[in-house]
Amino acid sequence: MFSFDDITGGSDGIFIVVALVIIIAAILLVLMVVGFRYKWQKYNISREERLMREVAGRRRIRVSDKNEVLERDNYTCQICGISKDYLDSLCEGLGDYLLLEVDHIQSVSQGGTGDDIDNLQCLCWRCNRKKGGYKTNEEVRRLIDYGIDYLDQD
């Protein structure tokens, strides 16, 4: 009777240890599965998703490049020629209201990239909207000559 109790007590202790090991192993297994699924999802992105990311990468322009382009083009729109200096000459401080943008000369949709500073130019926002993704500076200038506003396009 006494020895029977002793054995029962001993096997209880082993049972607890075995249960703990199983629980820890289960937790580790769950963590591994979750980690693997996360990695799989990262690599198993669709073709469209990869293309979108690639385009987003080429669209990106570094802030330092942006400033360099604006300095190089002397804060002047390369299509219509409006500039900060011109507006400031009309009225002190008016140039600050000119919204200048850095444009991809060859658009991202046509394979251009924002990494090449020679593919970037300073445009006012109106000319940039007119230009869109498919027109050249010359084509936009012709639209302006004909008096066609960007709102008439597309």
- Distance CA(22)–CA(34), nearest Å, equals 18
140 touching Zn ion, by CB under 5 A:
no
Binding mask 8-27 for Zn ion (x = CB under 5 A): --------------------
Q: How far apart (Å, rounded) are the C-alpha atoms in residues 46 and 53?
A: 11
Please say which residue, 58 or 122, places its beta carbon nearer to Zn ion. Answer: 122
Q: Which position among 69, 120, 122, 127 is part of the footprint of Zn ion (CB under 5 A)?
A: 127
Q: Give the distance, in angstroms, between the CA of residue 149 and the centroid of all CA atoms in the same chain.
A: 30
Of 59, 65, 73, 80, the one binding Zn ion by CB under 5 A:
80
- Would you say 127 or 143 has its CB closer to Zn ion? 127
CA distance 46 to 80: 42
Q: How many whole angstroms separate alpha carbon 54 and alpha carbon 57?
A: 5
Which residues bind to Zn ion, rule: CB under 5 A? 77, 79-80, 124, 127
